[in-house]
Chains A and B, each alone.
Chain A
Amino acid sequence: AQSVTQLGSHVSVSEGALVLLRCNYSSSVPPYLFWYVQYPNQGLQLLLKYTSAATLVKGINGFEAEFKKSETSFHLTKPSAHMRDAAEYFCAVRYGGATNKLIFGTGTLLAVQP
């Protein structure tokens, strides 16, 4: 069965510092992987997605993620954090089949300190 693990339910960084949010997946087949962001009192918004075209994926707001098959990881990074990046981030993996179901991690709440 596919699953997603996000290490660290809370991450705090200083403004301008590197952001690293970790995601590991388990999948018996090459997955589709997603990172979503949720700002306070809003729904989820897609940051980026891996669909096997390229291992380094660039997303919105300066975020990127690298797919590493050997490590079964898809960590999210941003070189320099901004205050507006404070939000909750979810990693997700897609089931196989035609229904496009996703399995979500438990989320990482990112705090950015001034």
Chain B
Amino acid sequence: DVKVTQSSRYLVKRTGEKVFLECVQDMDHENMFWYRQDPGLGLRLIYFSYDVKMKEKGDIPEGYSVSREKKERFSLILESASTNQTSMYLCASSSLTSRENNEQFFGPGTRLTVL
């Protein structure tokens, strides 16, 4: 089974702090994604990566950056956390092989509260 893990289930930070959210997948997937989930808005893509050291902005990249130094690990960074970044953050990964038909596999999520 594919497993996507996230470093924390719950996180509380203060405004202005630098925040790191870590995601690790164990299926050698090429693609990795970071979403934020807010009530009534569904999932919105922040950033994605299609290879080591490669990244592209999603729909809402402002206030975030990412790092992918190893294939299995994708980090989301909030350079200076703000209260409007309080949200559920979901990481996902997917393979390019046609057999899996591009399904994305999700981690359990990190609920971040910024005070």
Contacts and interface: CB of A to CB of B under 8 A. Distances in A.
Contacts, number: 55
B50 A45 contact: no
A107 B101 contact: no
Contacts of B90: 43-44
A71 to B, nearest CB: 21
B108 interface: yes
B72 to A, nearest CB: 17
The SS class assigned to the A binding surface is loop
A32 B102 CA distance: 9
A28 B109 CA distance: 32
A106 interface: yes
A44 B106 contact: yes
Nearest to A97: B50
Interface in B25-56: 31, 33, 35, 40-45, 48, 50, 56
A101 interface: yes
Interface residues of A, number: 23
Of B35, B45, B58, B103, the most chain A CB neighbours within 10 A belong to: B103
Contact of A104 (B4, B43, B48): B43
A51 B98 CA distance: 10
A46 interface: yes
A70 interface: no
Interface of B: 4, 9, 31, 33, 35, 40-45, 48, 50, 56, 58, 90, 92, 94, 96, 101-109
* Shortest beta-carbon contacts, A-B, top 10: A43-B106, A106-B42, A104-B43, A100-B102, A44-B106, A104-B42, A43-B108, A51-B101, A100-B94, A107-B42
Given A32-B102, A43-B106, 7 more contacts: A34-B103, A44-B43, A44-B104, A46-B105, A51-B101, A99-B31, A104-B35
8 contacts: A9-B40, A44-B43, A44-B92, A45-B106, A94-B102, A99-B31, A100-B104, A105-B42
